[in-house]
Amino acid sequence: MSRETLFNAALLLGLIAVPAWAVMMDEPFTITLATRAVILALAAAGLNIALGIGGLVSLGHAVFFGIGGYAMGILAHHAQSYTPLMEWPFLIEGTKFMPVIWLLAVVVSAVAAFLIGLMSLRTTGAYFIMITLAFGQMFYYFAISWSTYGGEDGMSIYIRNDFPGLNTLVPIQFYGLCLAILVVVLIFTARLRRSPFGLALNAARQVPARVEAVGMDPMRLKLVAFVISGVITGLAGALFADLNRFVSPTMFSWQFSGEIMILVILGGVGRLFGPVAGAVTFVALEHFLGGITEFWHIFLGLILLAVVLFARGGITGLVAGKEATHD
């Protein structure tokens, strides 16, 4: 077993042990924090597919996070106010049923990722970073002025949505649900990396010319990766909205896109558990540094700088040594 595998196992164990301890000690807030970390890890795991495997530096992933959030917000808002979402040409009612919300989040994120990807992938390098950022801003300003759904104020959902067989209001149950989704996505990612598609995408990042020369279209590979990536981040957005029982345009903001990227880089770009390590660290820093000083952003900034300058490969790289993505 490589050090990275051990590290990953330890992380996963921690994600089970810490909340379990919190339940025993009756520290529900620790569970809330852990839930936040798990959901952020999920959002970052989405970006990690585009960024880590496909090399797509998207500074607009908050778009999908926000779409997921608004999918939840809009459906639940209509459900709690008993007003139909639309009446024509056919009646659509709101819902508080998580699987339906997730479905909507996933479908809309996929469509958005497809369209944004189609346009953005024409560009490369710095242009790609900037055009994804611009799409993020477009959605942000749109959400701010979308008065039907609260504009800048966003929307509050009074009671967390339902999942069959669970009482999602109990923190540990909702946590379990989120963790399960994260684990499923990580398993999917692990398979994806070894799959023909993953191999091709990984090569498309390194040598697009080679991929073309063997009869594959790197652009299409990247577009599909971008869509998969957007879908996962979108799903995370729906869960995040449910955690907070609230959505607002800040979910679309470029700072948030930056934060998702930070999670990925902090944990280790392209590492399977990088997003998890990044999110856990980030939430912990936010919690503990924030408790110590009002100016904790300075220290967060310094830590990030240190990671970029001295700890290539992020935390995973630091703990597990250089690249160990292969057997």
Helix (H, G, I), strand (E, B) or coil at 38: helix
- Single out the segment in contact with other proteins by CB under 8 A; choices: 88-96, 175-183, 199-207, 274-282: 199-207
Determine the Cα angle at 222 with ends 220 and 225, to 5°: 110
Q: Using the rule CB under 8 A, which residue among 5, 210, 284, 288 binds other proteins?
A: 210
Interaction pattern, residues 74-103, with other proteins; x per rule: CB under 8 A:
------------------------------
- Give least dist CB 94 to other proteins, A: 17
Q: How far is CA 26 from CA 120, 171, 283, in A?
A: 48, 11, 20
Interatomic CA distance for residues 276 and 245, integer angstroms: 23
* Residue 192 interacting with other proteins (CB under 8 A): yes
Distance CA 23, CA 141 (A): 41
Return the number of the residue (90 or 121) whose C-beta is nearest other proteins: 121
Could you tell me the smallest distance in angstroms from the CB atom of residue 85 to other proteins?
20
Q: 89 or 196, CB closer to other proteins?
A: 196
From 59, 60, 71, select the one nearest 236 (Cα to Cα). 71
Q: What's phi and psi for 245, nearest 5 deg?
A: 55, 40
Residues in 241-300 at the binding interface with other proteins, rule: CB under 8 A: 243-246, 248, 250-251, 254, 258, 261-262, 265, 269, 290, 294-298, 300
- Distance in Å, CB of 90 to other proteins, minimum: 25
Binder of other proteins out of 24, 206, 292, 322 (CB under 8 A): 206
Burial class of 83 by CB neighbour count within 10 A (0 to 12, 13 to 18, 19+): exposed
Tell the smallest beta-carbon distance from residue 76 to other proteins (Å): 13
Print the binding letters for residues 129-168 with other proteins: x by CB under 8 A, - otherwise. xxx-xxx-xx--xx-xxxx--xxxxxxx-xx---------
Beta bridge partners of 86: 92
- Binder to other proteins among 2, 5, 83, 195 (CB under 8 A)? 195
Nearer to other proteins, 8 or 30 (CB): 30
Q: CA 161 to CA 166: how far, in whole Å? A: 10
CA–chain centroid gap for 154, Å, is 20
**213 binds other proteins per the rule CB under 8 A:** yes
CA neighbor of 61 nearest in space, from 42, 75, 47: 47
User: Hey, is 86 helix, strand or coil?
Assistant: strand
The two counts, helices (H) then strands (E), for the chain are: 13, 2
By CB under 8 A, the residues from 17 to 76 that bind other proteins are: 27-30, 32-33, 36, 51, 57, 59
Interacting residue with other proteins among 198, 237, 278, 317 (CB under 8 A): 198
- The nearest distance, CB 204 to other proteins, in angstroms, is 9
